[in-house]
Structure 1
């Protein structure tokens, strides 16, 4: 039979007015059922689905389960019908002993909503136990002078059933000397007494046999019997007498076994056997009889089994003292058991989850915890706590239930897992506690982008590097795990001089190693700016960028290039003019060279390698100026040849050489005369007037012819030189201005020379360059070098000053 929960007060009226969505909350009171004991397993107890407001199929979907305090499960749920059924046969007497009402309490847990509903099931007694006496036969000795009306207490029967099924009446078999009187009081069991109706006469009848029958009120009635043998003895007019009518003692439940609890004492003034007193238990429960032991001669009571406050709070015993003649007296003994904190709290943990993502919000339920202590009072009051600075907290529910929830958002990168220690402690002295451990794994969420150790990187690569060479390696770290931490590297899309960046560089997507796909030239690229992207493999992926500056290092791969004097294209040799009147230090000419490299690879020095007359000329190491080292003498040869080397400071150094031809003369006629004197002298035997005339005519003709040829050559030379300078200008357009400066890094000198006369002498070809007395040195500043190429400066100067660089072919 099922009893629907009743709501008290106006709260029930308010809840009845709510919508159907609150139906479950409206029935959140206790649910009461009743079921007879000893029914078969699977017997119907009540429709729990209907009382909870759920459909039967919702029991499975809501993950409904029974949460009981004890170790045994008496009931189960039928998911098909939504009914509460018995899980086995229930013995009410074993479960509740002599309690009037036998209640089994448990909770119904809706696991998905984490709600509890208390349920009480009353076990209804059936008449399955027969009244019994502890003894099968009772022997009573009575003195023959016993007074009529004497009452002899008889053992009362025991029936484990309750109510009408318990013992209801006694009946004594007929005997003219004895009758039965049953004493009954409120809340006190019936005590049968045998009353002496007539005086006894041992000589007529020494033994009387009677039968005491105890019957219950069940249907059908059950009964038990006790055989009584009354033996009439001789006169004994003094029964034993106890020193106390009732003995009381308080004993802690943890008292050791065999402890003397108390000693009862009864005295008998008679002599001989009539005064010898023996003690025995009378009307004692069989469970109590197993726990205590009574010495029949000394009256000492000891415990032979442990006392348990949780089972019995007060043990009630009746001690009977009997002398040798059979006279008896009785005293009551009350042993009160004091509770000792001997039971540690018990915890039942129902985990909700064992793994939680790190981005779950605070308040996520981890587990449901139930704490129970079998002790009473302060010894049974419990508290529950967790130890350590953990991001969890316990929330107290009803009936010593707690739930473990997250207090703040978890971070897997800080802690990937937790071992939560839950401690349940009582308030006893000393306090007892129990620990339980809950392991929780924090799963990763892609909440961290890859991070580079530096905000930017710089790398250096030598020019002329081999293709496919590794340049640099970047590494990004992602504190996430698994795929969320697998980093993929790539280069941001860009162009270099109109070409895609991917044609210059590539990066290993797994290792972050950067490779050069081309060989770089410092004269073309000084530095390059790249962006490296690190992206993880999470969903969605996170990324980060870092800048990489690549600097191309110069190598000494360009030899010095001599700009002046320029080698003629027709194979002739240029000639510089040095007047014989020049003083020491007179600048005859200047060698101008550049190097397309940079730094010390472009620092140039000038050296005189070879001279036709050593010691006559000197070359400036840093300027390239060719100056006279001493005064010129008449004996010095007309034609001087110098070999000048230009060398850079690279490792290894590179160099270039130029050959200078210097004519020593004060004027052009002198040069021509000197050149003529260089010829092989005529044979003296061929002298004569005719010869002189022929020579004179030939000379005049040759001079005239040479003059015409020189004019034509000058025109062609000027046209050729203009085109040559333009081509060189274009070839050096990319050369930095710093390459045109000398050792001091500030200036470069260009010297212009004007040529006014050209001639041809003999059959050898040579170029005569005649400097004016006032020559000009032109300083090319750094700014001007940046605005226009180096070769354009001398050309503009020539145009402004109307100077030319003719080359004269001499015969």
Structure 2
């Protein structure tokens, strides 16, 4: 730069002027200076190498200005590059507006301009470089579908929950990182069962998603309702492309104790011998429960109640009824058909191992009938029977019948003459106990008898036990002989 001026000299009276020209030679003491706009705009779908803007810087020394080289000092996500000589800022990779932390789409770059020597080398003088911040706004394009925070979700819900119950611990979030109308989407549910619903129906940007039971009840005991696989669909609503994404939801229905044990029959009958040994099986009665695990068949326990239940026991797990230990089967305090023929009992089945307040129960009546056994001997109600018969009569009048009693219904009493008739004058009907003459035609002849009184012993036997009674028969003499003279 040149400075021109006039220099005047004076002695008070005379004056002399001279023109002076001073040229100031420039030295390198000023940093480069940036010029022009420092903002740029680029669309998100711009191809690699797209020119965004041109950065311009000049040497602050104007006498002999140096050329400058450009470089990016700060370049978030490495989206851009700058041509070192021209300052052209171009895209270096595919842009993703949604990858930026800030939602405004602005990328802030730090550009440094450094002077170069005549030989092309960079200057090392700290005053020969400078930096400036430039901003590039990435304009959104619809390149992002609404997306789920997971591809698959799993949750469980108890059966029989009321309609409107939300599925717990789903933690489902859908987000569309585009902006404006590009971020508006709808939510729908692909559910062949029709038992669930999704909300909200529409959203923008980001939303939490809830699934609810819509058309219950859910029934774990139905094999088709133990697990549901649902598909949630998020689809843009205001774009031409209608980009969408899906997520799978696996819903497991858990069992609750909503079913009581079930017996196959409404009532049960069984029979057992009165003299059955202890531990003898009376009956096996089991119930089923549609629930699972301890709440179902696996957790059923059995108890027996009723008048006389102490004569029996039931296995709590298997439902097997048996005869309890007793020292005198068929008599005393044991089972005894002659004392009591039938027991009316109640068998209760309780699930969940019978936990009080936490189980369901069902009771079924059980009728146990005792089978009679031949465990009692027959006995005569009378220890002595008496009768009379006319001499020469063909039969007793009235008929002579002995009767024994056997408490056992199964017993068959057989009668026999065991003593008192060495001449075999009488016979007895084995089944009826009727005593008749052996010779009904001739009858009895008292003259042939040692006495007019005959005592018979009758035995009654049921095959195992027996008893006897006496039958005293008086023979009345008849006038059946003519007088007879004795020789003198």
- Which bracket does the TM-score occupy, shorter chain normalised? 0.5 to 0.7
- 1:633 is displaced (CA, Å) by 2.5
Query: CA deviation digits over 1:684-709, x for unaligned, max 9?
Result: xxxxx9xx9xxxxxxxxxxxxxxxxx
Query: CA deviation digits over 1:308-330, x for unaligned, max 9?
Result: xx244xx6978879899x8x999
Q: 1:468 and 2:164 equivalent?
A: yes
CA 1:663–1:344 in structure 2 vs 1: closer, same or farther (change >3 Å)? closer
SS, match of residue 356 in structure 1: strand
CA 1:599–1:447 in structure 2 vs 1: closer, same or farther (change >3 Å)? same
Q: Is the 8 A contact 2:346 2:366 kept in 1?
A: yes
Q: 1:480 and 2:178 equivalent?
A: yes
1:591 corresponds to: 285
Instruction: Report the count of equivalent residues.
Output: 342
Bigger-Rg structure (1/2):
1
What does 1:314-353 correspond to in 2, within 5 Å? Answer: 335-341=22-28, 344-350=31-37
- 1:430 is displaced (CA, Å) by 6.2
Q: Which has the higher strand share?
A: 2
- 1:451 is displaced (CA, Å) by 3.4
Q: Is the 8 A contact 2:53 2:90 kept in 1?
A: yes
Q: 1:459 and 2:459 equivalent?
A: no
- 1:546 is displaced (CA, Å) by 2.0
CA 1:628–1:391 in structure 2 vs 1: closer, same or farther (change >3 Å)? closer
SS, match of residue 431 in structure 1: helix
Q: Is the 8 A contact 2:235 2:242 kept in 1?
A: yes
Q: 2:321 aligns with which of 609, 626, 634?
A: 626
Q: Is the 8 A contact 1:618 1:626 kept in 2?
A: yes
Q: 2:79 aligns with which of 370, 386, 391?
A: 391
1:515 corresponds to: 212
What does 1:225-624 correspond to in 2, within 5 Å? Answer: 310-312=1-3, 335-341=22-28, 344-350=31-37, 354-373=40-59, 375-376=61-62, 379-389=65-75, 390-395=78-83, 402-415=87-100, 416-426=105-115, 431-433=127-129, 435-472=131-168, 473=170, 474-492=172-190, 494-495=191-192, 501=193, 503-508=194-199, 509-510=201-202, 511-516=208-213, 517-524=215-222, 525-537=225-237, 538-564=239-265, 566-567=266-267, 575-602=269-296, 603-612=299-308, 614-624=309-319
- 1:609 is displaced (CA, Å) by 1.6
Query: CA deviation digits over 1:607-660, x for unaligned, max 9?
Result: 112232x53211111111111102422343222232221111176311122222
- 1:396 is displaced (CA, Å) by 6.9
2:414 corresponds to: none
Query: CA deviation digits over 1:175-234, x for unaligned, max 9?
Result: xxxxxxxxxxxxxxxxxxxxxxxxxxxxxxxxxxxxxxxxxxxxxxxxxxxxxxxxxxxx
SS, match of residue 470 in structure 1: coil
SS, match of residue 413 in structure 1: helix
CA 1:425–1:611 in structure 2 vs 1: closer, same or farther (change >3 Å)? same
SS, match of residue 295 in structure 2: helix
- 1:482 is displaced (CA, Å) by 3.7
Deviates more, 1:623-632 or 1:656-665: 656-665
**Structure 1: unaligned runs, 5 residues or longer:** 1-309, 496-500, 568-573, 674-688, 693-811
Cα separation, 1, equivalents of 2:252 and 2:56: 70
CA 1:406–1:549 in structure 2 vs 1: closer, same or farther (change >3 Å)? closer
SS, match of residue 306 in structure 2: strand
Deviates more, 1:618-627 or 1:331-340: 331-340
Cα separation, 2, equivalents of 1:528 and 1:584: 53
- 1:487 is displaced (CA, Å) by 4.4
2:343 corresponds to: 640
Query: CA deviation digits over 1:128-155, x for unaligned, max 9?
Result: xxxxxxxxxxxxxxxxxxxxxxxxxxxx
CA 1:664–1:386 in structure 2 vs 1: closer, same or farther (change >3 Å)? closer
- 1:443 is displaced (CA, Å) by 1.9
Cα separation, 2, equivalents of 1:545 and 1:551: 20
Q: Which has the higher helix share?
A: 1
1:74 corresponds to: none
CA 1:382–1:578 in structure 2 vs 1: closer, same or farther (change >3 Å)? closer
Q: Is the 8 A contact 1:378 1:426 kept in 2?
A: no
1:120 corresponds to: none
RMSD: 3.8
TM-score (norm 1): 0.37
1:666 corresponds to: 372
Cα separation, 1, equivalents of 2:212 and 2:330: 66
Q: Is the 8 A contact 2:29 2:127 kept in 1?
A: no
TM-score (norm 2): 0.60
Cα separation, 1, equivalents of 2:19 and 2:249: 101
Q: Is the 8 A contact 1:386 1:423 kept in 2?
A: yes
